[in-house]
Amino acid sequence: IYPAILLTVAILSIVGMLAFVVPQFETLFNDMGDALPALTRAVISGGEILKSYGWLLILVLVGVFLFVRNWLSTVEGKAQFDERVLKIPLFGNVVFKYEVSKFAKTVGTLLGSGVSLLQSISIAAETVDNTYIKQALSVLEPAVKRGQRISTALDETKVFSPLVIQMIRVGEESGSLDQMMTELAVVYDEEVQDGIKRSLTLLEPALILLMGGTIAIVIVAILMGIMSVNNLAI
């Protein structure tokens, strides 16, 4: 929630500076022409564009939002999006571990309660929200039916990490698959929490720097313009 608030404040601050503060200085700089510093001209142009075509920008953003939402509602779009999410630095790894943790925890709990392996896998796979990971897990039911090990089937997908494969293999060989699945879930739960903390630790100052840097550029541009006006007056 906190990063979302920071991002919203950053966007509103930048838009407010360009759309309402910068235009107040246009009359002062109107007669300067090319004598104005390039940075000042760029900021003033940005303010004019935002003020004149802000409504068009809003329409474009709404159109993009609706397009993305409709695209995600399709099977192909959802699959492509979920696969790309896993490739995002830091965030993708957290999502992967979170989904695997849910699957492992469910399988471990069901097996420990006496549910069959085939049924446990089928139920646990439905707890996974990421389409790409769920598709990779779909190989397990046919593999179990033909007597293949879960660890081998998952290894062949080239999707899951060596830690996942090794812990499941140990559980299969020791006859304690339910315990190893639960342990895998615990390990990944802890790593998910650590990953979220690291991501927030990096994201929060990045948003603050973005907001502060952008506002600083606008202020510097206006000050440079005012100094140019004073120099010409002298």
pTM: 0.74
- Higher pLDDT residue, 128 or 51? 128
Q: Could you give the CA distance from residue 194 to residue 180 in angstroms, rounded to a whole number?
A: 21
Q: Could you give the CA distance from residue 86 to residue 84 in angstroms, rounded to a whole number?
A: 5
Q: Which pLDDT does position 96 carry in this prediction?
A: 93
Q: Which pLDDT does position 186 carry in this prediction?
A: 93
**Whole-number mean pLDDT of the chain?**
85
Q: Could you give the CA distance from residue 216 to residue 220 in angstroms, rounded to a whole number?
A: 6
- H helices of 73-176, in order, are 75-85, 91-112, 117-125, 131-137, 140-145, 150-157, 162-174
Contact 36, 232 (CB under 8 A): no
Q: Which pLDDT does position 220 carry in this prediction?
A: 87
Q: How does pLDDT run across 24-36, given as a tens digit for each residue?
A: 777 777 666 666 7
Q: Which pLDDT does position 165 carry in this prediction?
A: 92
Q: Which pLDDT does position 103 carry in this prediction?
A: 94
Q: Which pLDDT does position 233 carry in this prediction?
A: 55
Q: How does pLDDT run across 70-84, given as a tens digit for each residue?
A: 988 888 888 888 888
Confidence band (pLDDT; 50, 70, 90) for 2?
confident
Q: Which two tokens stand for residue 131?
A: 């389409």
Of all residues in the chain, what percent carry a pLDDT higher than 90?
29
φ, ψ (nearest 5 deg) of residue 96 = -60, -50
Contact 183, 167 (CB under 8 A): yes
- Higher pLDDT residue, 28 or 116? 116
Q: In the predicted model, is pLDDT for residue 3 greater than 80?
A: no
**Which three-class secondary structure string do you get for 133-149?**
HHHHHCCHHHHHHCCCC
Confidence band (pLDDT; 50, 70, 90) for 187?
very high
Q: Which two tokens stand for residue 62?
A: 């709404």
Mean pLDDT of 198-205: 82
Q: How does pLDDT run across 13-63, given as a tens digit for each residue?
A: 888 887 777 777 777 776 666 667 788 888 888 877 877 777 888 899 899
Q: Could you give the CA distance from residue 40 to residue 191 in angstroms, rounded to a whole number?
A: 47
